[in-house]
Amino acid sequence: MPRENRKRGKKHKKTKKEDLYDQKVSQEPQVVEPERAENGEPSWIRPAAREQDEINPEAPFGYVDADVKAYFRTVDVQIRDWQDNAVVPEEENEDTDPNEERRLFFVAALNEMRDKEKQLATDPDCSVIMERMAHSMDDFVRRVFVDSLVGSFELLFKHRFASHVVQTLFMIAKETINRETKGIYPSVREEDSGELRTLAQLILDICDEILPKLSDLVLDPFGSHVVRALMLLLSPNASVETEDAMLRSKKSTNWKAKQGSMKSVFQDNKGKQREDSRRQVPAEFTAMATKIIQELRGRLGGNEVRAMAASKVASPCLKVLLGVEADLELSDEPDSLLDQVTMGIVTFTHSDSEELPEASDFVGTLLRDPTSSHLLETIVLRSPDTAFDALWRLYFKGSLARLAIHPVANFVAAKAIERATPAHLEDVASELETTWNKMIRTSRTGVLRAFIDRVASLEVEGDQVKQAVLSAFDVEASEPVFVLCILSLLTFEDYKRASETSKMENASENHSNPKHGYQGPDPLSFKTQGSILLQLLLKLPNSFIVEGLRHLSVEDKIRISHDASASRVYDVLLDSPTIQAKDKREFVMSFIGHYHELVDDRIGSRVGDRCWAFCDTYLKEKIARSLISYESQLAGSFYGKYFARNTNIHLLKRKPEEWRTAQSQRKSQTTAYQQSGKPTVSAAPAAGIQAADKPTKRKRAKNDEIEELFDHALGKRIKKAALGDPNAATKEIEPKANGKAALSEDASLAAVFGAIRSAPKNEDSGRKHKKKKNA
pLDDT digits (tens, 9 = 90+) for 244-294: 666 777 777 777 777 777 888 886 544 344 444 456 788 999 999 999 999
Are 630 and 655 spatial neighbours (Cβ–Cβ below 8 Å)? no
Please state the φ and ψ torsions of residue 36, each to the nearest 5 degrees: -110, 145
Q: How far apart are CA 452 and CA 536, in angstroms?
A: 7
C-alpha atoms less than 13 angstroms from C-alpha of 26 in its C-beta half-sphere: 6
- Measuring CA to CA, which residue among 163, 151, 133, 264 is closest to residue 202? 151
Written as one letter, the residue type at 689 is: I
pLDDT of residue 59: 84
Query: Is residue 693 over pLDDT 50?
Result: no
Q: How far apart are CA 321 and CA 327, in angstroms?
A: 10
Query: Is residue 761 over pLDDT 50?
Result: no
Residues in contact with 45: Cβ distance below 8 Å, sequence separation at least 6, in sequence order: 37
Residue 297: alpha-carbon gap to chain centroid: 35
**Dihedral of alpha carbons 315, 318, 320, 322, sign:** negative
Q: How far apart are CA 690 and CA 115, in angstroms?
A: 61
Q: How far apart are CA 645 and CA 691, in angstroms?
A: 16
Q: How far apart are CA 730 and CA 720, in angstroms?
A: 12
> What predicted TM-score, i.e. pTM, was given to this entire model?
0.73
Q: For residue 748, name the pLDDT band (cuts at 50, 70, 90).
A: very low
Written as one letter, the residue type at 406 is: H
**Dihedral of alpha carbons 507, 509, 510, 511, sign:** positive
Are 316 and 224 spatial neighbours (Cβ–Cβ below 8 Å)? yes
Q: Which helix (H) or strand (E) holds 286?
A: helix 283-299
- Measuring CA to CA, which residue among 580, 597, 643, 590 is closest to residue 619? 590
User: 44-58, 401-415, 555-569 — which is least confidently predicted?
Assistant: 44-58
Q: For residue 690, name the pLDDT band (cuts at 50, 70, 90).
A: very low
Query: Is residue 92 over pLDDT 60?
Result: no
Selected residue with higher pLDDT from 161 and 100: 161
Please state the φ and ψ torsions of residue 483, each to the nearest 5 degrees: -65, -35
pLDDT tens-digit map of 7-37: 544 555 555 555 555 555 455 555 445 555 5
Residues in contact with 499: Cβ distance below 8 Å, sequence separation at least 6, in sequence order: 524
Q: How far apart are CA 529 and CA 442, in angstroms?
A: 12
pLDDT of residue 572: 94
Per DSSP, 514 falls in state G
Q: How far apart are CA 137 and CA 424, in angstroms?
A: 51
Determine the average pLDDT of the residues in 645-657.
Answer: 89
Q: How far apart are CA 278 and CA 620, in angstroms?
A: 43
pLDDT of residue 760: 45
Residues in contact with 593: Cβ distance below 8 Å, sequence separation at least 6, in sequence order: 626
Residues in contact with 224: Cβ distance below 8 Å, sequence separation at least 6, in sequence order: 217, 218, 313, 314, 316, 317
Are 338 and 395 spatial neighbours (Cβ–Cβ below 8 Å)? no
Three-class secondary structure of residue 42 per DSSP: strand
Per DSSP, 3 falls in state G
Are 177 and 282 spatial neighbours (Cβ–Cβ below 8 Å)? yes
Q: How far apart are CA 373 and CA 315, in angstroms?
A: 10
Selected residue with higher pLDDT from 767 and 326: 326
Selected residue with higher pLDDT from 668 and 702: 668
- Measuring CA to CA, which residue among 569, 560, 492, 477 is closest to residue 525? 560
Across-strand partners of 42? 36
Q: How far apart are CA 534 and CA 545, in angstroms?
A: 7
Are 599 and 637 spatial neighbours (Cβ–Cβ below 8 Å)? yes
pLDDT of residue 262: 80
Across-strand partners of 36? 42
The overall average pLDDT reported for the chain is 78
- Measuring CA to CA, which residue among 589, 583, 604, 570 is closest to residue 483? 570
pLDDT of residue 353: 81
- Measuring CA to CA, which residue among 257, 242, 238 is closest to residue 382? 238
Q: How far apart are CA 389 and CA 401, in angstroms?
A: 19
Q: How far apart are CA 403 and CA 425, in angstroms?
A: 15
Q: How far apart are CA 709 and CA 691, in angstroms?
A: 23
- Measuring CA to CA, which residue among 565, 580, 571, 577 is closest to residue 532? 565
Query: Is residue 687 over pLDDT 80?
Result: no
**Dihedral of alpha carbons 666, 668, 673, 678, sign:** negative
The beta strands (E) that lie in 55-211 are given as: none
Selected residue with higher pLDDT from 721 and 531: 531
pLDDT of residue 230: 94
Q: For residue 144, name the pLDDT band (cuts at 50, 70, 90).
A: very high
Burial of 502 (0-12, 13-18, 19+ CB in 10 A): middle
pLDDT tens-digit map of 547-563: 999 999 999 999 999 99
pLDDT of residue 765: 41
pLDDT of residue 268: 57
Three-class secondary structure of residue 432 per DSSP: coil
pLDDT of residue 186: 83
Query: Is residue 138 over pLDDT 60?
Result: yes
Q: How far apart are CA 704 and CA 709, in angstroms?
A: 9
- Give, in order, the Cα–Cα distances in Å from 207 to each of 142, 162, 373, 460: 17, 17, 29, 48
Helices vs. strands in the chain: H and E counts, helices first: 46, 0
Q: What is the CA radius of gyration of the chain?
A: 38
- In percent, how much of the chain has pLDDT > 70? 72
Q: 32-58 in b/e burial notation, b at 16+ Cβ within 10 A?
A: eeeeeeeeeeeeeeeeeeeeeeeeeee
Q: Which helix (H) or strand (E) holds 201?
A: helix 199-210
Q: How far apart are CA 341 and CA 306, in angstroms?
A: 6
Alpha helices in 513-655 (DSSP H): 528-538, 545-550, 554-561, 568-575, 581-589, 595-598, 602-614, 617-626, 631-636, 640-647, 649-654
Residues in contact with 411: Cβ distance below 8 Å, sequence separation at least 6, in sequence order: 373, 377, 446
pLDDT of residue 304: 92
Residue 708: alpha-carbon gap to chain centroid: 40
Are 623 and 615 spatial neighbours (Cβ–Cβ below 8 Å)? yes
Residues in contact with 509: Cβ distance below 8 Å, sequence separation at least 6, in sequence order: none
- Measuring CA to CA, which residue among 650, 611, 657, 603 is closest to residue 631? 650
Planar angle of CA 429, 435, 439, nearest 5 degrees: 110
- Note the residue count of the chain: 775
Three-class secondary structure of residue 36 per DSSP: strand
Query: Is residue 509 over pLDDT 50?
Result: yes
Helix, strand and coil percent figures for the chain, each rounded to 5: 60, 0, 40
